[in-house]
């Protein structure tokens, strides 16, 4: 009879899998970087400000878990990403809005904005990269 006895050091295993430099940590960091890059490529561009402000979040740990993420730090990112419903725009510090239409200066107490369609560049980037990870 041959008998082989082994012991698993759970703390050591946890460090190798989820700790700094662990297998899961490297995979989460790699996936977050790929989503950041694809999200930056797919973000709508007017001035390029929003594209420049897409960043990979720091990797964090909880027992048995590794967390990563991607954030667009431009203050208007949510409205671009999720879209907006129709809404009224009113002046904040003056009595009227001022803008130009066909070369004419126009003043208005409010404007009915029709809303904007969602452009979910980060969600779409995550879906593409996750499908690549899963081999779909």
Task: Please determine, for residue 23, whether its predicted confidence score (pLDDT) is greater than 90.
Answer: no
Tell me the C-alpha distance between 55 and 39, whole Å: 10
Tell me the C-alpha distance between 76 and 68, whole Å: 22
The verdict on residue 59 lying in a domain is yes
The verdict on residue 109 lying in a domain is no
The answer to whether residues 71 and 43 touch, using CB atoms and an 8 Å cutoff, is no
> Whole-model pTM above 0.85?
no
Q: Which 3 state secondary structure label does DSSP give 11?
A: helix
Instruction: Provide the residue range defining the domain that includes 17.
Output: 10-83+118-134
The verdict on residue 103 lying in a domain is no
Structure tokens at 115: 């809303």
The answer to whether residues 117 and 44 touch, using CB atoms and an 8 Å cutoff, is no
Beta bridge partners of 100: 105
The verdict on residue 36 lying in a domain is yes
pLDDT band of residue 136 (cuts 50, 70, 90) is: low
Task: Please determine, for residue 135, whether its predicted confidence score (pLDDT) is greater than 80.
Answer: no
* 55-113: pLDDT as tens digits: 999 988 877 778 899 999 999 999 999 999 999 999 999 999 999 999 999 999 999 99
The verdict on residue 95 lying in a domain is no
The verdict on residue 61 lying in a domain is yes
Task: Please determine, for residue 42, whether its predicted confidence score (pLDDT) is greater than 80.
Answer: yes
Q: For the chain, what is the domain count? A: 1
Tell me the C-alpha distance between 80 and 44, whole Å: 8
The verdict on residue 15 lying in a domain is yes
């Amino acid at each position: 009879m041959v008998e082989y006895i082994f012991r698993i050091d759970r703390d050591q295993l946890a460090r190798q899998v989820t700790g700094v430099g662990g297998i899961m940590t490297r995979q989460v960091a790699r996936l977050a970087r790929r989503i950041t890059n694809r999200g930056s490529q797919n973000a709508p561009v007017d001035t390029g400000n929003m594209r420049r402000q897409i960043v990979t979040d720091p990797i964090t740990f909880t027992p048995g878990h590794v967390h990563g993420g991607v954030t667009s730090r431009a203050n208007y990112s949510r409205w671009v990403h999720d879209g907006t419903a129709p809404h009224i725009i009113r002046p904040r510090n003056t009595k009227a809005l001022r803008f130009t239409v066909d070369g004419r200066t126009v003043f208005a107490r409010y404007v009915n904005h029709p809303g904007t369609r969602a452009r979910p560049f980060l969600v779409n980037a995550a879906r593409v990269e996750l499908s690549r990870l899963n081999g779909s």
